[in-house]
Amino acid sequence: MALPVSTGANPAAPVRPVSARHFVRLKLRVMGNNFRGQGWRIALFIGGALLGLWFAASGFFLFAAPGLADDGRYAVLVAAAGGGLLVLGWLLLPLVFFGVDETLDPARFALLPLPRRTLVTGLFVAALVSVPVLAVLIATLGLVLTAWSLGGWSAGLVAVVGVLAGLLLCVAASRAVTSAFATMLRSRRVRDLAAVLLAVTAALIGPLQVFGLAALRQADWNRLAGAATVIGWTPFGAPWTAGIDVAQGRVWAAPVKLLITVMALGALLAWWSRSLESAMVGATSGGKAPARRGATGGAVAQLFPRVAGWAGRDRFGALVAREARYWWRDARRRANLITIAVVGIFVPVFINVTGGDFAAMESGGLTAAAGDSSPVVVTISMVLVGVLAAATLANQFGFDGSAYAANVVAGVPGRVELRARMTAFSLYVLPMLAFVAVVLSVLLGRPGWIGLTFGGLVATYGAGLAVNSLVSVLGAYSLPETSNPFAMNSGAGLTKGLLTLLTMIASAVAAVPMVVAAALLGDAWLWLALPVGAAYGLGAALLGAYLAGDVLDRRQPELLATVTPRR
Amino acid sequence: MTVEHPALALRGLAKRFDGTIAVAGVDLDVPAGSFYGLLGPNGAGKTTTLSMAVGLLRPDAGAAWVLGHDVWQDPITAKRLLGVMPDGVRLFDRLTGAELLAYNGLLRGMDPAVVDQRAAELLDVLALGDAGRTLVVDYSAGMKKKIGLACALLHGPRVLVLDEPFEAVDPVSAALIRDILTRYAAGGGTVVFSSHVMEVVERLCSHVAILAGGTIKRVGTIDEVRGDRSLEQVFVEVVGGRTATGEELSWLSQ
């Protein structure tokens, strides 16, 4: 799709058209140059690719199952539900967990005389060149197999077209949504609104899971098939079910569904192209900062926010105050805080409430659902939340980027640095965890369990802080200096994923004593959990800061070098 | 008391990045009380050298001393004597100017009352007081340089190391920065700064070193280095620049 480029001033000069091919080659070149001389990056990339292939293979067999079993009954169900989940995943996961690969930052193209259409097409095609896209392609080829074995080559062919269109839809959706949110988060005027929207979007994941599980639990396959048919007529399911429709004799449905897909794709691309413009003109758009209140008091008094007002006016206090300000003022950090808040509430509710009798929930309200939730299950769900919350700090120095140089120049001792960072983060997270504990206990109808839930949370969170402070010193990586809080460097998404996984496993292991205690000690634990958990968490965090601080003292300059974005 | 020690001494500093040699053994003695200019074309290794000298980048070989204190063996003492303004490094720019100064002051272990008083004075002198509650990220390039300088000066360092303090700064701000640096040097402080602006170096510096291709090409007092020619002539000759013949780039004329 080559479009001629107009030169304006000198139309006589021959101009070679810029096509998507150039963008793809540029992306591959940038990726290749990022690997140069960095053995561990190549290793990580290969590791990620293998992981992707493994998921792709399991997905393939899942999608191909109806075809392999030669059983057409559940073909639409698998295609619509599985495909719908894929689209939804592409839509939400970049916002909440992974970020988007911004190897080609749109802002870099702002000065080139490219028509917006060329730019959007190019960036879009370049975005298709990635491991996740390949993995999804392999997985969804299972649908082609199903369609082909059920309906012969014509159905298979339609399925191929459908799958390809669906893949385009996935990528377009993720780009459009992240770009739109990034634009909103960048603009100061609507930033807070965007934060709320993001939270609501992320919160959707919870109820959807609950809904899905409820549906599975009821095992009314006919009703599910009915729902799948409906989903099949939305953009979420349309591309994936077109081939199956042909196989099952509804040939007329295929072109309609493909048309639905193409229209959705067009709408998403148009949306993306609009927000892309603001991404290109950069961070200055979106109006002036809201007028801040006039300076009151001296410089030191201004530095300390109210939440950190108790801290001493010394080195530790200054670090806490600056971190506390940053968790709120830095869009990237704030997005992380919101994620913890949302996930922190929904994961335990999901595990504990849906673990109960779902029919009871439908008829008798949430409180009746606590039937078979035990202290062990509750503690395990608390471990999950605590681990997730602490994992945010796995790349805490990456948030700072080269600004960390100020601390290196000042020669801040590593232990003070890490303790202060933990404290500032906890100023936000501990109240959140307390809220989770209270809400969960009330939802379960067992207010007496507040100690149990909060104790488990604090213990895991403390252990997680310890593990993550060590990881943040040893496994830091740079984040791109763009205004898109969801942007990741190419390859960094994988580093992030692996590191997060690693730290979460390590923190969970560190919290095992809490689960064991919950299992062994019975009712006495309900009372002991809070003091023991608090002591355990605090001790673990302090020990972590002590050990990791020593490492930090020895490798401050190296850490600075790894978190400084390469320009 | 530290007369016998140079303000900044570098011995054999070397750094290699991914196989390319950025700095190939730099020796330098900056006498206490001098105003020292480190000259060099882009990519000469000025930033790398200064980063290694102040403890931001670990050298592959060599050592650096600040008033006799080894930067890499005894960093705490050395860093206490140093005020640094790195180039191409972000500040904690989600703070306001006053907040940033307070942060840096407390980080240096200063008394809060002293921080308040000096911060107010610095903001006033550098004409940053009007910015009020504007975040540093929204400052203009010149304002960012000025607040960076204020952060480096706040704790009253004995040695000031500035990387490109006059880059992207308008003439008014540049004059202000020049004025403050001159006063600082007159008060017994030592200033080391990198630049490729000849006029500024010629006007301010007592000593210069010309760095090119990762090694020191010329070093000495400014009169020794330039002799009877202009500094620019010496610089271009040392660095080996080329002059346009008029043949190439003919398509530039319409």
Report yes or no on A197 lying in a domain: yes
Residue where one domain finishes, among candidates A246, A281, A316: A281
Q: A residues 19-38 near B, CB within 8 Å? A: 36-37
* CB contact A293 to B (< 8 Å): yes
| Residues B110-158 pLDDT 10s | 999 999 999 999 999 988 888 778 889 888 888 999 999 999 999 999 9
* CB contact A302 to B (< 8 Å): yes
CA-wise closest residue to A399 among A496, A332, A491, A335: A332
Among B76, B98, B107, select the one facing A295 at the smallest CB separation.
B98
Looking at the structure, do residues A264 and A337 belong to the same domain, yes or no? no
Residue of B nearest to A293 (CA): B133
pLDDT by residue, tens only, chain A of 567 residues: 444 444 444 545 567 778 888 888 988 888 888 777 667 778 877 887 888 889 899 989 988 888 888 777 778 888 888 888 888 888 877 766 556 666 777 777 878 888 888 888 888 998 888 888 999 999 999 989 888 888 888 888 999 999 999 999 999 998 888 888 777 766 655 555 666 666 666 656 655 666 666 666 655 666 677 778 888 888 888 898 888 888 888 888 889 999 999 999 999 999 888 888 776 665 444 444 444 555 567 888 888 888 888 888 899 999 999 999 999 888 778 777 877 777 777 777 766 665 544 434 443 334 434 445 677 777 778 888 888 888 888 889 988 989 999 999 999 999 999 999 999 999 999 998 998 888 888 888 888 888 888 888 899 999 999 999 999 998 888 887 665 566 665 556 666 677 777 888 888 888 888 888 888 887 888 888 889 999 999 999 999 999 999 999 999 999 999 888 875
Place of tokens 């949302």: A342
- CA of A186 vs chain B CAs: smallest distance (Å): 13
* Size of chain A in residues: 567
The reported pLDDT for the residue numbered A216 is: 62
Under 8 Å CB-to-CB from A193, ≥6 apart: which residues? A184
Confidence bin at B68 (pLDDT 50/70/90): very high
* CB contact A39 to B (< 8 Å): no
Q: B residues 70-129 near A, CB within 8 Å? A: 75-76, 79-80, 82, 84, 86, 88-96, 98-99, 101-109, 112, 115-117, 119-120, 123
Half-sphere exposure of A512 (CA within 13 A, CB side): 4
Place of tokens 């109820």: A207
Alpha-carbon distance of A6 to A17, in angstroms, equals: 9
Alpha-carbon distance of A158 to A153, in angstroms, equals: 9
The reported pLDDT for the residue numbered A528 is: 86
Looking at the structure, do residues A190 and A273 belong to the same domain, yes or no? yes
Q: Which helix (H) or strand (E) holds B130?
A: none
Q: B residues 157-186 near A, CB within 8 Å? A: none
The reported pLDDT for the residue numbered A410 is: 92
Phi–psi pair at B72, nearest 5 degrees: -100, -20
Q: pTM for the complete prediction?
A: 0.76
Looking at the structure, do residues A44 and A95 belong to the same domain, yes or no? yes
Instruction: Mutate one of A41, A296, A302 to test the B interface: name it (highest B CB count within 10 A).
Output: A302
Among B109, B119, B134, select the one facing A315 at the smallest CB separation.
B109
Alpha-carbon distance of A336 to A176, in angstroms, equals: 20
Residues of B in contact with A557 (CB under 8 A): 55-58
Looking at the structure, do residues A332 and A225 belong to the same domain, yes or no? no
- CA of B118 vs chain A CAs: smallest distance (Å): 9
Report yes or no on A250 lying in a domain: yes
Buried b / exposed e over A182-211, threshold 16 CB at 10 Å, is bbbbbbbebbeebbebbbebbbebbeebbe
The reported pLDDT for the residue numbered A299 is: 85
**H, E, C per residue of A401-432:** HHHHHHHHHHCCCHHHHHHHHHHHHHHHHHHH
Residue where one domain finishes, among candidates A241, A265, A281: A281
Instruction: Mutate one of A35, A300, A408 to test the B interface: name it (highest B CB count within 10 A).
Output: A300
- CA of A440 vs chain B CAs: smallest distance (Å): 36
Residue where one domain finishes, among candidates A245, A265, A281: A281
Contact A161, A258 (CB under 8 A): yes
Confidence bin at B160 (pLDDT 50/70/90): very high
The reported pLDDT for the residue numbered B26 is: 93
Q: Cβ of B95 and A325 within 8 Å?
A: yes
Q: Cβ of B133 and A330 within 8 Å?
A: no
Looking at the structure, do residues A473 and A528 belong to the same domain, yes or no? yes
* CB contact A424 to B (< 8 Å): no
Residues of A in contact with B89 (CB under 8 A): 402-403, 405, 564
Report yes or no on A17 lying in a domain: no
| Residues B2-52 pLDDT 10s | 457 899 999 999 999 878 889 999 999 999 999 999 998 888 899 999 999
Phi–psi pair at B166, nearest 5 degrees: -105, 5
Q: What percent of chain B has pLDDT over 90?
A: 59
Instruction: Mutate one of B48, B103, B135 to test the A interface: name it (highest A CB count within 10 A).
Output: B103
Long-range contacts of A50-55 (CB under 8 A, 24+ apart): A52/A131, A52/A132, A52/A134, A52/A135, A53/A135, A53/A138, A55/A135, A55/A139
Instruction: Mutate one of B92, B96, B124 to test the A interface: name it (highest A CB count within 10 A).
Output: B92
Q: Provide the domain limits for residue A418.
A: 306-563
Under 8 Å CB-to-CB from B138, ≥6 apart: which residues? A289
Report yes or no on A300 lying in a domain: no
Looking at the structure, do residues A486 and A353 belong to the same domain, yes or no? yes
Q: Cβ of B92 and A406 within 8 Å?
A: yes
Residues of A in contact with B75 (CB under 8 A): 411
Mean pLDDT on B78-86? 93
Alpha-carbon distance of B70 to B77, in angstroms, equals: 8
Residues of A in contact with B103 (CB under 8 A): 303, 318, 321-322, 406
How many domains, chain A?
Answer: 2
Looking at the structure, do residues A144 and A261 belong to the same domain, yes or no? yes
Looking at the structure, do residues A356 and A231 belong to the same domain, yes or no? no
Contact B86, B55 (CB under 8 A): no
Looking at the structure, do residues A190 and A231 belong to the same domain, yes or no? yes
Residues of A in contact with B99 (CB under 8 A): 299, 302-303, 322, 325
Residues of B in contact with A326 (CB under 8 A): 92, 94
Distances (CA, A) of B76 to A37, A386, A424, A525, B72: 34, 36, 25, 47, 9
Looking at the structure, do residues A393 and A435 belong to the same domain, yes or no? yes
Half-sphere exposure of B55 (CA within 13 A, CB side): 32
Report yes or no on A289 lying in a domain: no
Looking at the structure, do residues A233 and A335 belong to the same domain, yes or no? no
The reported pLDDT for the residue numbered A345 is: 75
CA-wise closest residue to A469 among A537, A394, A522, A542: A394
Looking at the structure, do residues A225 and A138 belong to the same domain, yes or no? yes
Report yes or no on A298 lying in a domain: no
Confidence bin at B167 (pLDDT 50/70/90): confident
Report yes or no on A433 lying in a domain: yes
Confidence bin at B97 (pLDDT 50/70/90): very high
- CA of A413 vs chain B CAs: smallest distance (Å): 9
Report yes or no on A287 lying in a domain: no
Among B89, B107, B123, select the one facing A405 at the smallest CB separation.
B89
The reported pLDDT for the residue numbered A551 is: 95
